[in-house]
Structure 1
Amino acid sequence: MLTERVTKLINGMLAGQKNSLAQLISLAENDSPDLPEIIKMLHPHRGKAYCVGITGPPGGGKSTLIDRLTATIRSKGWSVGIIAVDPSSPISGGAVLGDRIRMNQHYLDEDVFIRSMATRGSHGGLSKAVASTVKLLDASGKDIIIVETVGVGQTELSIKQMADTLVLVLVPGYGDALQVMKAGSIEVADIIVVNKADYQGAERLVNELRATLTPNRRGHEQSIITTQAINGIGIGELYQALDQRRKKR
């Protein structure tokens, strides 16, 4: 049976209180024994959110891309939950949160909730608490949930189990498409974004990727979209591609 405190947190979250949501996520991060019952109680409130996983190697500009994409999503009137999965510090076990500063403009938006989580050594690049946090954000009423994973693609494939759509972000210079295929990311991605498309080698990377495209695991055709996230270029096209998939799910 849940304690009065936890019940109050659940009621507070359902009433739109960010602090209650944050405290419930902390319970998930700390693997609270109450978590299964919390998730069970929230089941009637879940199932409406659209979950987007965004992954790719370091230096691809994922945080900037998410920042611009969030602004576009908010301009359409949708609420957003963002889970940024960061590498754990080998000393403290805490998340390395440097990139989150790029999303500061959204922290004061009542319809955006941002949470950074450490991997804490879990396999697949995802914190064990991420799946529970997606469910909490869904129950809290967020329309779109974005999960950003850390590192190189082959360790992030566990995201496909919780995301409606998986976006792989690459940049020119990361290597040819064959190398990326060996990482196992391309075949499970729904949308491949070539960011920093003004860099040398972008056109070649796009051509190599096009030669590899096949219908993915959900039967959808994969899409390739070029962006310059820092300038906002291509973000509208990415939003449209995501919105089309949201409507078809």
Structure 2
Amino acid sequence: QNKPEIPSAMAIAREIKGVIQQETGLTASAGVSINKFLSKIASGLDKPDGLYLITPEAAAAFVANLPIEKFYGVGAATAQKMQNLGIQTGADLKQWAEADLVTHFGKAGRYYYGVARGVDDRPVNPNQIRKSIGAEQSFAADLETIEPMIAALEKLAAEVVTRMEKHQRYGYTLTLKIKYADYQQITRAQTIDVLFKDQQRLCNRAISLLEEHLDRSRRVRLLGLTVSNLAESTLAPPVQQLCLELPPFFR
């Protein structure tokens, strides 16, 4: 829904990027196209501070040339299965009948059949209930040592706490995402028995996960923090002690 009534999707994306930069100091990438599938892929093509447009006229050729592992909704295991079947690109995927894709991939086969043709009718729902709250940062230059990674996690922890406070939803599970320079990524999670509300606690846990699971021989392209297993805030408002005027015999 275009509440500001801005006539251009690109202008909306630029404004959102500007607000993020102004309020958080972080960069953001955005993708603009004719549906959720293409916009999602476009958002990852010009990181860390890009804005990529896939026009309606370019959509078919873009999808046809897209490597199957780059398709949104196709994970590593599914990509390997598709490649074993001879599906390397969107053009290959488009050659398959919908029934055959359903046979091999279940109900997801219908989704693959549509997106191979640039079709994705899923609505954008800005009011859906959040299952997680997070933030991530891609780096213009890959990070080679742990010190700047820790500094990045400190900023990300502050941003995640700010977002949780905004929504008044906090979580018990923290997930660290590490994407290496070769685009291989790992996620590691930790669940605690109290809500992550305090920035220092969240940051300390994130650093511990990083120190435990980071492959220090590899350069890092992106870091992310996500809090899930959410619950609404249970903080009660502070109790105000009232001053009572007591009768003389109680004094």
Pairwise same-fold verdict (TM > 0.5): no
* Structure having the larger proportion of residues in strand: 2
TM-score (norm 1): 0.22
Larger radius of gyration: 2
TM-score (norm 2): 0.22
